[in-house]
Amino acid sequence: MTELHSKRLVQHDILEILKNYSDEAHKLSQHRIQELLESEYGISVDRKTVRRHLSALREADEQHICYNEDIARTKEGKKQNILTQWYYRADLTEGELRFLIDCVLFSDAMPENYRRDLIEKLEAMGNKHFRSIISKIDLDVYNRIENSEFFLTIETIETAIAEGRKVAFRYRDMGVDKAYHLRTEDDGTPKDYVVSPYQFIRANGHSYLVCNLEDHEGLRHFRVDRIVECIKLKDGLRPLRKLPGWEAGMRLCEYLTEHPNLWCSKTTHVKLRCPQNLMNDIVDSFGKDVRITPEDNNMMQVRLRIDEEAICHWALQFADGVEIISPKRLRERVAEMLREALKRYEN
């Protein structure tokens, strides 16, 4: 091994030690780096060599190679700055990595081996301190139906969107036997859906495809984990701006606010009254762009534009405190739904 190669190898090993053993909470002295070079790689170097390589790494990458400065005195009593307590600042913090791991852990329909593989890749981006904490994760968080085509479906649809193509797929529903079954036509044959795909969205803990169903107007939503046998077609998709009501395109934040449960009924302006202590639920369900008017007795009026089906079911969920004021037809509809519910409990 040449001397130049040896120097580069030592510098590489020091960088790996910083990545694996250090962060802002676990800083390394030059002496500790010497020890780790010896124990991990069988390399023995003096402290001056370690300091020289650390300085070279710092000069090449100031964003990630960090240190603390301290003041020491020479034998002659003069003050000098020394660089100590070295660490590697990763692109993703432990909190950010843990958040991404939790997203994978609780993802819909992803088979356990897929989740395990993705989590291991995310773990590898952390240091040894992080990996020792994450090793205690239980992947079997709860019993979910798996879809081995999940990633292939996403890739197929993303490619179709990028190329402006339609896609065709089949769709599954849960049966009373706790297994998924394909939707069928009246004659019992599997039903094929042909759609113009526009956007993936995440709502209610699941991933959805926003699309236009062939020979229909408006938008539809399909749970991605229930889509199977998805293929890209040669036919060009129907542009979103050519759909009635969508000539100006879609602002995703507004769409999710108006369709919190991803139903596809018409949207309307709604005014309701409820206790002020429901403010957390209001914002969680509809975002912060609602209009609030405080009233006496810790009540408030809320004005928003929203999908009619969504607001009816939301009002039923909080029926003990929420009153729809307008429009009148929704107020009467919720009242009728409550009367029907009461009959079931009284009989």
82 and 104 co-located in one domain: no
166 and 227 co-located in one domain: yes
Q: Which residue has the higher pLDDT, 73 or 231?
A: 231
H or E element at residue 73: strand 65-73
Does residue 139 lie within any of the structural domains?
Answer: no
161 and 236 co-located in one domain: yes
Detail the DSSP E strand segments found in 103-226. 165-174, 180-182, 193-203, 206-213, 220-223
Q: In this structure, what token pair is assigned to residue 132?
A: 């020792």
80 and 101 co-located in one domain: no
Q: In this structure, what token pair is assigned to residue 237?
A: 């998709």
Nearest to 255 by CA among 300, 298, 307: 307
Does residue 122 lie within any of the structural domains?
Answer: yes
Three-state DSSP at 77 gives coil
Which CATH number do you get for residue 79? 1.10.10.10
Nearest to 130 by CA among 90, 170, 162, 163: 90
222 and 169 co-located in one domain: yes
165 and 223 co-located in one domain: yes
Phi and psi of 80, rounded to 5°?
Answer: -145, 145
Q: Based on the structure, what is the number of domains in the chain?
A: 4
**99-142 tens-digit pLDDT:** 888 777 777 666 777 778 888 888 888 888 777 666 666 655 55
200 and 177 co-located in one domain: yes
- What is the residue whose two structure tokens read 């993303």? 158
pLDDT number for residue 82: 67
Detail the DSSP E strand segments found in 145-192. 165-174, 180-182
pLDDT number for residue 109: 66
**9-46 tens-digit pLDDT:** 888 899 999 998 888 888 898 889 998 998 888 888 88
Rounded CA-CA distance 161/5 in Å is 48
H or E element at residue 94: helix 94-105
**135-152 tens-digit pLDDT:** 666 655 555 556 778 888
Q: Which residue has the higher pLDDT, 250 or 33?
A: 33
The pTM (predicted TM-score) of the whole model is 0.63
Does residue 274 lie within any of the structural domains?
Answer: yes
User: What is the residue range of 79's domain?
Assistant: 3-88
Enumerate residues 6+ apart whose C-beta is below 8 A from 276.
294, 298, 299, 300
30 and 80 co-located in one domain: yes
Does residue 341 lie within any of the structural domains?
Answer: yes
Which CATH number do you get for residue 300? 3.30.70
Rounded CA-CA distance 319/255 in Å is 25
Q: In this structure, what token pair is assigned to residue 339?
A: 């009367």
Q: Which of 223, 249, 275 is the last residue of a domain?
A: 249
CB 170 within 8 A of CB 192: yes
Q: Which of 89-93, 146-150, 282-286, 297-301 has the highest mean pLDDT?
A: 297-301
Q: Which of 190, 215, 249 is the last residue of a domain?
A: 249
Detail the DSSP E strand segments found in the chain. 65-73, 79-88, 165-174, 180-182, 193-203, 206-213, 220-223, 227-236, 267-275, 291-294, 299-307, 323-326
Rounded CA-CA distance 152/229 in Å is 9
Does residue 257 lie within any of the structural domains?
Answer: no
As a whole-number percent, the residues of the chain with pLDDT over 70 amount to 85
pLDDT number for residue 127: 85
pLDDT number for residue 2: 42
Enumerate residues 6+ apart whose C-beta is below 8 A from 9.
1
Rounded CA-CA distance 230/253 in Å is 27
Does residue 227 lie within any of the structural domains?
Answer: yes
H or E element at residue 219: none
Q: Which of 104, 134, 164 is the last residue of a domain?
A: 134
Residue 231 has pLDDT above 90, yes or no: yes
CB 152 within 8 A of CB 230: yes
Does residue 202 lie within any of the structural domains?
Answer: yes
pLDDT number for residue 150: 84
317 and 331 co-located in one domain: yes
pLDDT number for residue 24: 85
Does residue 147 lie within any of the structural domains?
Answer: no
68 and 112 co-located in one domain: no
